[in-house]
Structure 1
């Protein structure tokens, strides 16, 4: 659960003396090796405020890779885990540019900071007064590259229940907590607030709801768009966009973001017709956002690829799309461990990457059993072609 901040501690941390104390504590190493010594030193200088100071510095360090400008933020451990990465929040805010927006689960303000850069009027509400106090502080921090983003809006903060609407005429943004009883949940009814209740309360409103990408979207009675978003190859979230916010004809979207500022979008309105052919020179494993959005065929059609098997998400082709990881096929064999071990020995295989889809295999256990001891790196792709488990022997992956 992390450290429990008090209202007095939050007020102190946001004050001029608290800011100075945080700058001082930020000079400490605070590593596993130095934590006892460092904590004792901070306690001698700052007394009972030491735990809040140390926790805040540690959280800011953890947040640096996720939240732009977090070196000045106030956070909690739970709020940081739940917070939307800045680049993902910025992408959503750009889709809402020019609209008045109400974030009904604003927490510490990770979404609000980006919404305020793109929307004229923004409201943030939450039931937790401590997180609202942190959001108020975080919204006053300087925003990196703010000049390029234009004028920031004025944000109104309010303590309110997400299931009790308190604005009208706004686009509603919600991020239900995905932990139940301290454990992550993929059950829409176990979210806080429950997803079915949220959708019911705001029925007929323009609505964007951030969800876990592991939810079974086919079970949702949703007439809008489902967008799955990845960042630097890792699937981060899904977002449900109500019918009034989606593009005509689009019900599924995959958005692939990169920290370098790249953004690629694919939708189910794009062409999805691909040929049926024998495996080409390369195997391509599409980005997870493409796979989870159910847009593998659309991705293949865009890049001149086809599927190894119609039921499997691995693609193949005679060339790699630019910037995409691929595996050059050098041979195939049936999935029999004795034959595989012999083939890997013949290839002088040492470091071995094992990719599996459509076959029940534990890659780590298989690697231990085949015991590669050579000097050259290889990748094997184990997948099902028709009813047969097939092993593709590949050169080590590359772009």
Structure 2
């Protein structure tokens, strides 16, 4: 657990003296090697403020890869961990352009920062006074107030919420164990335009949600799912996968798109779809959009004679019934010395298998292990990049 900030800490850190002190502490290395010495230096120069100063500088450095413009922010460790990455928050904000938006779990303001300048009016509320104080500093363009997310304090606004997904220090996928509980949020804001950020592992089918569920990935990692009420959803769309990249490019796949794909033998390439597509249950829709088909109807691996633009794929060199012995022999014959192992549908741990292959060659290859029908299959491949 990180340092427990107080309102007095926030007041100091946002004062002129605090800003100057933060600049001085930011000039220290604060690495594993120097941290004890740097903390001692901070205590000598700033006394009781040393802990909050050091923690703030360390958290700013930690958050740089996740939140844009965080160099002057005041944060807590828990808030940084749960905060939405800027490209994901900016993507959601675009859907809310021109609206009056109320973030009822605003925390330190990562969502608010992307809404200001896009939404007509931005309101943020939270029960935590310390985080509200931080948000007031971090996002001066938002209107802030202390309020319980389950007690509405605005009318006619579009509501967004990000329930805490940890209970007892452990991550939970139980909708009722979120804080505030997801069923309670949905009941309180029934009939309102509502967007609720959730963990992508949540069982959405159990909610009987009538709007849209969007699963979002960023640079190949699945980041979140978001529930959008019907008023925020595209007509006819109940599932969406959005694939974002840090270079600003993105695409999405929805269940309103065609999912008719052929059943054929493997093509020249194998494609492992982005995790957002798999989590959203839109593998067939993605395949149909790009002229691909499945290796097996129950497995998410796709195959085809070409690759979608910008997608990494695996060109098939050899295909055979999988046994560890057969794989070892093929890789040895191909002079393989390093191998990337991808597995779906088989009980194989790549970390356990790799050293048992005893590779000694000079070529790097990829291996896709899967099941086609009841047969375990191995595909030795050359990756596109």
Tell me how far 1:316 sits from its aligned partner. 0.4
For 2:320 and 2:253, the matched residues in 1 are separated by: 34
Pick which of 239-248 and 215-224 moved more. Answer: 215-224
1:260 paired with 2:234, answer no
Partner of 2:138: 138
For 1:155 and 1:49, the matched residues in 2 are separated by: 28
For 2:10 and 2:361, the matched residues in 1 are separated by: 57
1:118-129 maps to which residues of 2 (within 5 A)? 118-129=118-129
Q: If the length of structure 1 is used for normalisation, what is the TM-score? A: 0.95
CA offsets per residue over residues 26-53 of structure 1, 9 Å max, x none? 1111000001111111111111111100
CA offsets per residue over residues 284-336 of structure 1, 9 Å max, x none? 01111111111111111111111101111110011111110100100112121
For 1:340 and 1:155, the matched residues in 2 are separated by: 59
Partner of 1:146: none
Computed over aligned residues only, the root mean square deviation of the Cα atoms, in angstroms, reads: 0.9
For 1:389 and 1:225, the matched residues in 2 are separated by: 36
For 1:326 and 1:265, the matched residues in 2 are separated by: 19
For 1:215 and 1:195, the matched residues in 2 are separated by: 11
For 1:339 and 1:91, the matched residues in 2 are separated by: 47
Tell me how far 1:97 sits from its aligned partner. 0.3
Tell me how far 1:57 sits from its aligned partner. 0.4
For 2:117 and 2:372, the matched residues in 1 are separated by: 49
Partner of 2:28: 28
Q: For this pair of structures, how many residues does the alignment match? A: 385
Q: Secondary structure at the match of 2:136?
A: helix
For 2:82 and 2:331, the matched residues in 1 are separated by: 43
For 2:375 and 2:292, the matched residues in 1 are separated by: 22
Tell me how far 1:160 sits from its aligned partner. 0.6
Which of 267, 275, 282 matches 2:269? 282
1:209-224 maps to which residues of 2 (within 5 A)? 209-224=196-211
1:63-212 maps to which residues of 2 (within 5 A)? 63-140=63-140, 154-212=141-199
1:311 paired with 2:298, answer yes
Partner of 1:327: 314
Tell me how far 1:139 sits from its aligned partner. 0.7
For 1:398 and 1:117, the matched residues in 2 are separated by: 41
For 1:265 and 1:344, the matched residues in 2 are separated by: 37
CA offsets per residue over residues 194-248 of structure 1, 9 Å max, x none? 1111111111111000000111222221000000001111110000000111010
For 1:318 and 1:341, the matched residues in 2 are separated by: 27
For 2:162 and 2:178, the matched residues in 1 are separated by: 9
For 1:369 and 1:82, the matched residues in 2 are separated by: 39
For 1:124 and 1:21, the matched residues in 2 are separated by: 29
For 1:53 and 1:16, the matched residues in 2 are separated by: 13
1:43-58 maps to which residues of 2 (within 5 A)? 43-58=43-58
For 1:87 and 1:249, the matched residues in 2 are separated by: 26
Tell me how far 1:272 sits from its aligned partner. 1.1
Q: Secondary structure at the match of 1:393?
A: strand
Pick which of 332-341 and 64-73 moved more. Answer: 332-341
Pick which of 365-374 and 350-359 moved more. Answer: 365-374
Tell me how far 1:155 sits from its aligned partner. 2.1
Structure 1 unaligned blocks of 5 or more: 141-153
Which of 353, 356, 372 matches 1:369? 356
1:353 paired with 2:340, answer yes
1:398 paired with 2:373, answer no
Tell me how far 1:398 sits from its aligned partner. 2.3
Which of 213, 217, 228 matches 1:241? 228
Q: Secondary structure at the match of 1:320?
A: coil
1:16 paired with 2:16, answer yes
Tell me how far 1:265 sits from its aligned partner. 1.3
Tell me how far 1:6 sits from its aligned partner. 1.4
CA offsets per residue over residues 251-303 of structure 1, 9 Å max, x none? 00011111111121111111111111100000001111111111111111111
